[in-house]
């Protein structure tokens, strides 16, 4: 089916929509969902009430749901791409470091969204609002299989592969939590911590 070319008006509308979403996201991150009014969003973005409701008839709630759904899709795709990039010919320490650093950068790439998720997740009405937890849990199985195959190839010893996968994933989660809260249990720069923990974990897997 041939697609109709987008007109300059279509592009302008898409740009305006993204401007509204980004502006609202900034305000939600700073003031919280409940602490942000539509008037505050209008003023921040520089538009009228009527124009904002033209793009999002459901108002503030629809904007929040849209921000969530679009961010969810992007992160799921990024995580799957990271897992697919774990090549069998890479040394395990290198592969795990690349995966964890990539995971950390993916999860913290949009810090405004992360703040919203940690503070206002209960305001999201989507059934998929727990997608961060589900995303990590679902990809845990893939990582478990990666470790199992590495053991079969003789690179590491036999062990509880599921527990080892949890160990690696928890490193990324702890680093992500550090970026959006006052909880800092690692004491060093996040990617330095990731590299140190991967080196330590893989050394233990080889014993």
Indicate if the pLDDT at residue 40 is higher than 90.
yes
In this predicted structure, the answer to whether residue 157 has a pLDDT above a threshold of 70 is yes
Give dist(CA 24, CA 150) in Å, integer: 45
pLDDT value at 153 more than 80:
yes
Q: What is the pLDDT of residues 18-33, one digit of tens each?
A: 999 999 999 999 999 9
Contact 128, 72 (CB under 8 A): yes
Q: How confident is the model at residue 185 (pLDDT cuts 50, 70, 90)?
A: confident
Position 70 confidence tier, pLDDT thresholds 50, 70, 90: confident
Q: Which residues of 20-31 are buried (b: 16+ CB within 10 A; e: fewer)?
A: bbebbbebbbee
pLDDT (0 to 100) of residue 117: 82
Residue 4's pLDDT is 57
pLDDT at 1: 47
Kindly report, residue by residue over 75-122, the tens digit of the pLDDT. 777 777 877 777 778 899 999 999 899 888 888 888 888 888 888 888
Q: Residues 104, 193: contact at Cβ < 8 Å?
A: no
- The whole-number pLDDT of residue 101 equals 92
At the fourth CATH level, which superfamily is domain 8-206? Tetracycline Repressor, domain 2 (1.10.357.10)
Give the pLDDT of residue 75.
76
Burial 177-203 (b: 16+ CB within 10 A, else e): bbebeeeeebeeebeebbbebbeebbe
pLDDT at 137 over 80: no
pLDDT, averaged across the chain: 86
- Is pLDDT above 60 for 7? yes
pLDDT of residue 103: 85
pTM of the model: 0.75
Judge whether residue 10 has pLDDT over 70.
Answer: no
């Amino acid at each position: 089916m041939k697609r109709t070319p987008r007109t300059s008006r279509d592009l302008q509308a898409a740009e305006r929509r993204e401007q509204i979403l980004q502006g609202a996201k900034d305000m939600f991150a700073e003031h919280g969902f409940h602490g942000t009014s539509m008037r505050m969003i209008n003023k921040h973005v520089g538009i009228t009430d009527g124009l904002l409701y033209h793009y999002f008839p459901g108002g503030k709630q629809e904007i929040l749901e849209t921000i969530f759904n679009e961010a969810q899709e992007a992160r799921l795709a990024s995580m799957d791409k990271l897992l697919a990039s774990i090549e069998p010919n890479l040394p395990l320490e290198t592969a795990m470091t690349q995966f964890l650093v990539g995971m950390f950068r993916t999860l913290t790439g949009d810090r405004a969204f992360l703040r919203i998720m940690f503070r206002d997740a209960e305001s999201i009405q989507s059934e998929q609002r727990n997608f961060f937890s589900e995303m990590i849990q679902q990809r845990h199985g893939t990582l478990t299989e990666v470790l199992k195959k590495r053991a079969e190839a003789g690179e590491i010893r036999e062990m509880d592969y599921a527990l080892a996968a949890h160990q690696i994933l928890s490193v990324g989660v702890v680093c992500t939590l550090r970026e959006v809260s006052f909880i800092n249990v690692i004491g060093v720069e996040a990617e330095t911590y990731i590299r140190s923990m991967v080196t330590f974990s893989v050394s233990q897997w080889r014993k």
